[in-house]
Each structure stands twice: as C-alpha cells, then as structure tokens.
C-alpha cells in the first residue's frame, strides 16, 4: 500500500487528494441531474486529466456510475448501500424533529438534538423558534465532549467503563476562556450534570452562547442522544425564572421521547 507523503497533506494535516475526491463526490450528489466531465472541470477548476482520474477512481469503487452512452456521472450503488445502513439513524432524527419544534416553541429558543455515534456526539438536528434572536446550528457538526452541553449530557450518564474510554480520548481543546481544560474538572462537571439531570455549556464552546441539554435513554436505560436548547447568555444569565422554565421544558420533552422509545420496544 502506498504511504501518503507530506506533500500530499495540507497545512492542517488533511490528505489533499482525499479532500479533492470527496469534493467531487459532493458535487455529483448535490447536482440536480447527472453531470459530465466538463462540469466537474469547470465547477472545481481542475485540469482534465486530474478530474478524469478522480472520477475513474470513484467509479471503480462504486461511489459513482458512468452512463456508457451519455458519459454522464451520477451517484453509484455504494452510496445507496451506505444510505440504507444509515436509514435507522435518520429515522430516529425524523421521529425527534416534532419534539424539537415543540421544545423550540415552548422555550422560544433554538432546540437541538445530539446523537451518540461510536465515540462522538453528532449534532443531528435542530429547530428554531419564531423569536427575534435564534441560534443557527450546522447539522453534522461534532460536539466537543468536554464543553458541549449536548455531549456532556450523554457522557455524564454513560456506564463508567465507557465513560472512561471516551474521556481518555479527549484532547481538551480550549475554545473559550471558560472551556474545561483537564480531566479532573470535567469529571466534577459530569458529576454535577448527573446529579441535577441536565448539562450546561455556559460559553464553554462559543463565547456568549448558553446551552442546556438532557439525555435521552433507550429501552435499556442507556443514553444514546440528548435534547436541549441554545441561546444567548445574556437572555438567561440573570433571569433565574426563565432558566428554570427552560430546564422544565427540556425535562418534559426528553421524558416524553424516552417513554415513546420504551413503549415502542414493548410492541
């Protein structure tokens, strides 16, 4: 197997050829109709030979298919296989979205869903309210385990052995002056989270933002997701009644979701 050389890596350490291939794949998936080689060359400002090699590699791996007559490219069978494997996860997201919308309406804040996938917490969905101030999230982002409320809500309620495994992998990147920087402080925060039932991100991931989240449990009582809200610190920082109402709303909605999951498992 050919090793990746330093010249193939960008300044941030990512593999440039992989990034380029994924960019081409993304262009083909996002296109409203099959695309030709000329489209890829123009859209991504590539030379013809390089573009053709990337397309040929993606085709050989089944990620795209090429029509023999029109010479156009479209998503291949491998992508549809991946989609089928992800269907259960996306079904969970679809099921939760109505709850997110209701939580957003109850709190007049942006509601978000975190999903535990292997050793990461993914921001899987969000819903905004009709409030003048609304936080916009990016679906698909990875939530920092040591600073995000969505992640800490899950991490705090995991079995000790699994929790320890995840904590060992944390790099404790400092996002703001309020970010937790070491394992000792994180474990103290997780203990408080477990005792009160909800996690807080008080400007730890992004300065000026305040997030609260509670875990969602599966039929075996294990946390696999979290639901919460994101707002501006100034809106809740000095208003204890408003904060209390937000926490109660999150508690109510998360309990409903957990009960629905348990009811479905009994069917």
pLDDT single digits (tens) 222-253? 999 999 999 988 877 656 888 899 999 999 99
Domain encompassing residue 245: 86-266
CATH code: domain of residue 146: 3.30.450.40
CATH number assigned to the domain comprising residue 62: 1.10.10.10
25 part of a folded domain: yes
- In terms of domains, do 97 and 178 share one? yes
- Give the pLDDT confidence of 5-32 residue by residue, as tens digits: 444 445 455 588 899 999 999 999 999 9
The reply to whether 202 and 242 lie within a common domain is: yes
> Do 123 and 225 belong to one domain?
yes
- Same domain, yes or no, for 166 and 67? no
Residue 108 to residue 130: CA distance in whole angstroms: 7
Q: Looking up tokens 């350490």, which residue turns up?
A: 13
pLDDT tens digits, residue range 171-203?
Answer: 999 999 999 999 999 999 999 999 999 999 999
CB-CB contact of 144 with 137 (8 Å): no
Q: Is residue 4 part of a domain?
A: no
Determine if the pTM surpasses 0.75. no
Residues 101 and 68 in one domain: no
Instruction: Please check whether residues 236 and 262 belong to one and the same domain.
Output: yes
Does residue 21 sit in helix, strand or coil?
helix
Q: Examine the domain organization and report whether 108 and 217 are in the same domain.
A: yes
Based on the fold, state whether residues 140 and 61 are members of the same structural domain.
Answer: no
Structural domain tally of the chain?
A: 2
């Amino acid at each position: 197997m050919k090793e990746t050389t330093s010249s193939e890596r960008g300044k941030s350490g990512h593999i440039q050829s992989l990034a380029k291939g994924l960019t081409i794949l993304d262009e083909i998936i996002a296109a409203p109709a099959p695309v030709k080689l000329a489209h890829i060359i123009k859209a991504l400002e590539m030379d013809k030979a390089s573009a053709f090699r990337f397309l040929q590699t993606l085709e050989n791996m089944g990620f795209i298919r090429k029509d023999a007559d029109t010479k156009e490219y479209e998503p291949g069978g491998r992508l549809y296989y991946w989609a089928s494997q992800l269907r259960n996860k996306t079904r969970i997201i679809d099921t939760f979205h109505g709850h997110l919308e209701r939580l957003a309406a109850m709190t007049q804040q942006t509601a978000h869903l975190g999903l535990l996938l292997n050793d990461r917490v993914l921001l899987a969905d969000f819903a905004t309210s009709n409030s003048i101030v609304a936080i916009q999230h990016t679906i698909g982002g990875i939530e920092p385990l040591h600073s995000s409320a969505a992640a800490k809500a899950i991490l705090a309620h995991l079995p000790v052995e699994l929790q320890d495994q995840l904590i060992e992998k944390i790099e404790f990147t400092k996002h703001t002056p309020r970010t937790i920087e070491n394992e000792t402080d994180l474990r103290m925060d997780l203990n408080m989270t477990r005792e009160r039932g909800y996690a807080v991100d008080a400007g730890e991931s992004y300065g000026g933002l305040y997030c609260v989240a509670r875990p969602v449990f599966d039929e075996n009582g294990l946390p696999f997701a979290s639901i919460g809200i994101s707002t501006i610190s100034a809106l809740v920082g000095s208003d204890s009644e408003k904060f209390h109402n937000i926490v109660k709303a999150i508690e109510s909605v998360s309990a409903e979701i957990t009960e629905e999951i348990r009811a479905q498992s009994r069917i």
